[in-house]
Chains A and B, each alone.
Chain A
Amino acid sequence: MQSYADIAKGDVLLSVKDVSLSFGGVKAIQGVSFDIRKGEVRAIIGPNGAGKTSMLNVINGFYHPQAGEIMFKGIRRPKMKPYEAASGGIARTFQNVALFKGMTTLDNIMAGRSLKMNVGLFWQMLRFGPAEREEVIHRRRVEEIIDFLEIQAIRKTPVGKLPYGLQKRVELGRALAMEPELLLLDEPMAGMNLEEKEDMCRFILDVREQFGTTIALIEHDMGVVMDLSDRVVVLDYGRKIADGVPDVVKADKTVIDAYLGVAH
């Protein structure tokens, strides 16, 4: 595992500068800046309604901020559509599982490879030659991910029938199938029991280790956040109130106040 000193020196993969986002009169994010360095696990935490999910939506192009700029891989990013963010190398999982419910685990993860498949309609119609070869190549990669996440047994089960913990795991698999540079995880451990949480933590660390993926995650379980992440950014009411290594953030007066409330 990389130490904090390594990461602090690392290249900035994504930086968010003075980003503000509002929906009508509601200011979801106000002048937030932070950066995500290559290879780190970056946590975004904060109380409910702090703007964490909005922040992820800004990063992967669902929302366009009214002010501020986003630099990804050193290039200032124009307004982009979610599929452009996807082809740029940003993958994402959702707070409430957003799997393709009618499809099998295998098809879900294969769908994650859509961007990498490009054989045209003609060969697809015949399912022959290039189409068949491409299908097998990607199937092989998908099977590696299935092995990695230990979900071989549910390969051909429609995901709608799976228990919640496994659905979360399949969703992680689908995001990994995109071979992203930056993986955004929105509450990957919400609603899980202790054992499932531990499994998920192990997968997240292994993903970083094996694939070298940079990870930004939102999580409410403070134990998990403090153990997993290299750096933490804390949002409250759309503003950034703290940013740094877990130990510093944990001791920060404003963070404690935001979570526990202030005595008046």
Chain B
Amino acid sequence: MFYREAGQFKTSYETDHATFPIRQDQIGIALILIAAVALPFVSSSFAMQTVMLPSLALVVAVIGLNILTGYTGLISLGSAGFMGVGAYACYKLTTLFPEVNILVWILCSGFFSAAIGVFFGLPSLRIKGLYLAVATLAAQFFLQWAFVRIPWLYNYNPSGAIEVPLRYLPFTEIAITGPTASLEVKYLVLLAFVVVLTWVGSNLMRGRIGRSFMAVRDMDIAAQLMGIRLLDAKLMAFAISSFYCGVSGALFVFIYLGGAEAGTEFSIRLSFLMLFAVIIGGLGSMIGSFLGAFFIVALPTILKFGAPAIGIAITGATAEKIVFMTIGALTIYLLIVEPHGLARLWQIAKQKLRAWPFPY
């Protein structure tokens, strides 16, 4: 009843294919944005640090992986490696050229990651499915090896880790990275990146490029006949996806973690978690990327700290195991029952809302 587009007439193609063609959606997204900006001033710093910051940093990478796996149908297990490339590229750039603002370098690190992604995406023309997953797995292991074995990447730090320097917002004295950066500033910077990159990603996926990706995913032979070049489309998908992963990696280390050792942070475990986030959230869906990333990040926190709060005694180690079991079971369940994941549930809810209070 509240979500009904009756009476909203579209008189031009522009309004018909707008990002949010329905007025309720426009109001909804505006409310969500206002709430998101207001959140750090009302929420506890614990929730911000353990849930919001990592989720927002990961959302970018999950969108990237969704562009590759959900929209183009190419499975990748190297996404954590590509995140690492972004993080190290950003570290090298900002230590070599400290006078350029860090925000510029975070975006630029995406291009380094994109280049590496295109290189490892080359086999995708010949191999598909599981075999491609194995090829990208090789990328993951090679990159992880490089992060540990090439000391130049971490500026020969004796700790072997990225030590995030203090950097400021352009033209101000407000720290965004390093130990003195405040939680609110970090959060808002992350939010800005997420909003812009989501908007850009959704624009791309709804235009010619996105259609060619989905065409390759659904029927590559017919796509060729429409004049879509498979190599171009697949490499473009790898480039865009790795760009997102790279930016996400830089955000993850510089803004969320404030320092990282790539051998542990950008491991195969993270690659798998992101793939699960894409599947749980919903393949080929922007909103699904958000739901999946938040789910993956929030679930351990909720189990570890939420369960004791309501009187269920649970140790950290047990919670960790329950998290893995839940995610694993849910992934299998969704793959079988609902390949469009949580995003599909949201769509069904919208459909029900439209007819409410009647069943249909």
Contacts and interface: CB of A to CB of B under 8 A. Distances in A.
A63 interface: no
Interface in A77-118: 81-83, 85-87, 91-92, 94, 98-103, 107, 110-112, 114-115, 117
A19 to B, nearest CB: 20
Contacts of A132: 14
B208 A124 contact: yes
Nearest to A175: B225
Interface stretch (A133-141, A223-231, A234-242): A133-141
A174 interface: yes
B276 to A, nearest CB: 21
A30 interface: no
A85 B226 CA distance: 9
Contacts of A146: none
A81 B224 contact: yes
A170 to B, nearest CB: 12
Contacts of A174: 226
B222 A115 contact: no
Contacts of B217: 100, 102
B17 interface: yes
B208 A119 contact: yes
Interface in A42-101: 60, 62, 81-83, 85-87, 91-92, 94, 98-101
A151 interface: no
Interface string B181-220: 0000000000000000000100110111101101101110
Given A112-B226, A124-B207, A178-B227, A107 B214 contact: yes
B226 A111 contact: yes
Nearest to A177: B226
Nearest to B209: A124
Interface residues of A, number: 40
B221 interface: yes
Given A86-B224, A136-B13, A103 B229 contact: no
A121 interface: yes
A7 B203 CA distance: 47
A107 B222 contact: no
A174 B218 CA distance: 14
A117 to B, nearest CB: 5
Interface residues of B, number: 29
B203 A125 contact: yes
A174 to B, nearest CB: 7
A177 to B, nearest CB: 9
Nearest to B240: A121
A124 B203 contact: yes
B198 to A, nearest CB: 12
Most B CB within 10 A of own CB, among A103, A115, A143: A103
Nearest to B284: A102
A125 B212 CA distance: 15
Nearest to B222: A98
A123 to B, nearest CB: 9
A151 B33 CA distance: 38
B227 A100 contact: no
B228 A124 contact: no
A127 interface: yes
Nearest to A103: B214
Nearest to A86: B227
A172 to B, nearest CB: 13
B218 A102 contact: yes
B207 A127 contact: yes
B218 A94 contact: no
A91 B228 CA distance: 13
Nearest to A131: B207
A251 interface: no
Contacts of B221: 62, 82, 98
B218 A100 contact: yes
Contacts of A126: 200, 203
B219 A101 contact: yes
A135 B217 CA distance: 22
B212 A83 contact: no
A139 B17 contact: yes
A100 B209 contact: no
Given A102-B284, A140-B13, A111 B224 contact: no
Contact of A125 (B19, B204, B224): B204
B224 A102 contact: no
Interface of A: 60, 62, 81-83, 85-87, 91-92, 94, 98-103, 107, 110-112, 114-115, 117, 119, 121, 124-127, 131-132, 134-136, 139-140, 143, 174, 178
Given A132-B14, A139-B13, 17 more contacts: A83-B224, A86-B225, A94-B222, A99-B219, A102-B284, A110-B211, A111-B226, A112-B226, A114-B226, A115-B227, A125-B203, A126-B200, A127-B203, A131-B203, A131-B207, A135-B13, A140-B13
17 contacts: A81-B224, A83-B228, A94-B222, A98-B219, A100-B218, A100-B222, A102-B214, A102-B284, A114-B215, A114-B228, A115-B226, A124-B203, A126-B203, A127-B206, A139-B13, A139-B17, A143-B13
